[in-house]
Amino acid sequence: DAKTTQPTSMDCAEGRAANLPCNHSTISGNEYVYWYRQIHSQGPQYIIHGLKNNETNEMASLIITEDRKSSTLILPHATLRDTAVYYCIVRGNMEYGNKLVFGAGTILRVKS
Amino acid sequence: GAVVSQHPSWVICKSGTSVKIECRSLDFQATTMFWYRQFPKQSLMLMATSNEGSKATYEQGVEKDKFLINHASLTLSTLTVTSAHPEDSSFYICSARAGFLYNSPLHFGNGTRLTVT
């Protein structure tokens, strides 16, 4: 599975959009980009995933660059409850058994 | 949405005893579940892949005789920490894939906080 690089931490003002970047320059053609978040002392929560097209759901939008080497998770109107560690993960090889391997993630702090 | 339930949410046990943690997929069947461990201020570390009806696959460095995994049905996997020691104190989290496509997302339980005294 391709490795990902994320900033260690970011701050965002409440009500503003939070844009979380992720680099995955070694991604291969069949690998998807997944985003999860983990609020303190809870299990990770699935947010969104995509292959090459931009995706949007009720939680967030995922923007993937045309060369697929990077992506951005957008929380359109961040609230204090969005404070969490956000993980960008690349997965796709069926022989890898569908495992999700977590990196260090980005600590997002939403401030009032 | 897909729900994964873990029980118990926290447990305290004495050194040398065994502890069983249950992971259930509530509204879907899961042929494969995954067990993770997380130490304070660290990321999740994959321990093993639990396969329904067959032996679990353990990640390198994880002792299979210490962390017994049983996936007896399509909705239940259990992790038993045998002869627990204080260094086994950690946050244990399970996950399962909801959906048949290989790109279907994994959903996670809320974790079990194990403290060994």
Alpha-carbon distance B58 to nearest alpha carbon in chain A (angstroms): 12
Residue B97 pLDDT: 83
Give A41's pLDDT tier (boundaries 50, 70, 90): confident
pLDDT at residue B100, as a whole number: 67
CB contact under 8 A, B108 and A99: no
- A52-66 average pLDDT score: 96
Q: How confident is the model at residue A96 (pLDDT cuts 50, 70, 90)?
A: low
Q: Residue A11: in which H helix or E strand, if any?
A: strand A9-13
Does B106 lie at the interface with A, CB-CB under 8 angstroms?
Answer: yes
pLDDT at A101 over 60: yes
Report which DSSP code applies to A80.
G
Residues of B in contact with A105 (CB under 8 A): 43
Q: What does residue B84 show for φ and ψ, rounded to 5 degrees?
A: -65, 145
Contact B113 A41 (CB under 8 A): yes
Is the previous residue joined to B105 through a cis bond, with omega within 30 degrees of 0? no
What is the least distance, in Å, from the CA of B106 to any CA of chain A?
Answer: 7
B62 contacts chain A (CB < 8 A):
no
Edge-to-edge order in the sheet of strand A70-75:
A18-23, A70-75, A61-64, A55-56
Is pLDDT of A76 > 80?
yes
The answer on pLDDT for A67 being more than 60 is yes
> According to the model, what pLDDT value does residue A97 have?
57
Q: What is the mean pLDDT of residues A90-103?
A: 71
By three-state DSSP, how is residue A95 classified?
Answer: helix
Cβ-proximal residues to B73 (8 Å cutoff; 6+ apart), any chain: B52
Q: How far is A2 from chain B (nearest CA, A)?
A: 15
DSSP assignment string, chain B? ---EEEE-SEEEE-TT--EEEEEEESSS--SEEEEEEE-TTS--EEEEEEETTS--EEPTT--TTTEEEEEEETTEEEEEE-S--GGG-EEEEEEEE-SSSTTPPEEE---EEEEE-
Token pair recorded at residue A39: 């609020």
A99 pLDDT band, cuts 50/70/90, is confident
Residues of chain B with pLDDT under 50: none
- Give the residue from A5, A2, A20 showing the smallest Cα distance to A85: A20
Q: What was the pLDDT predicted at B30?
A: 86
> According to the model, what pLDDT value does residue B103 have?
77
Between chains, do B43 and A98 touch, taking CB under 8 Å as contact? Answer: no
Residue A105 has its nearest CB partner, among B32, B43, B113, at B43
| Mean of pLDDT values over A37-65 | 95
Q: Residues with Cβ < 8 Å from A2, sequence gap 6 or more? A: A24, A25, A26, A27, A28, A31, A90
CB B77 within 8 A of CB B94: yes
User: Residue range A67-95: average pLDDT?
Assistant: 90
- Average pLDDT on A20-31 reads 91
Average pLDDT, stretch A12-36?
Answer: 94
What's the mean pLDDT when you consider all of chain A? Answer: 92
Higher pLDDT, A35 or B52: A35
CA distance A48 to chain B (A): 8
Q: What percent of chain A clears pLDDT 70, i.e. is strictly above it?
A: 92
pLDDT (0 to 100) of residue B105: 85
Diameter of chain B measured on Cα atoms: 42
Give the mean pLDDT of A14-23: 97
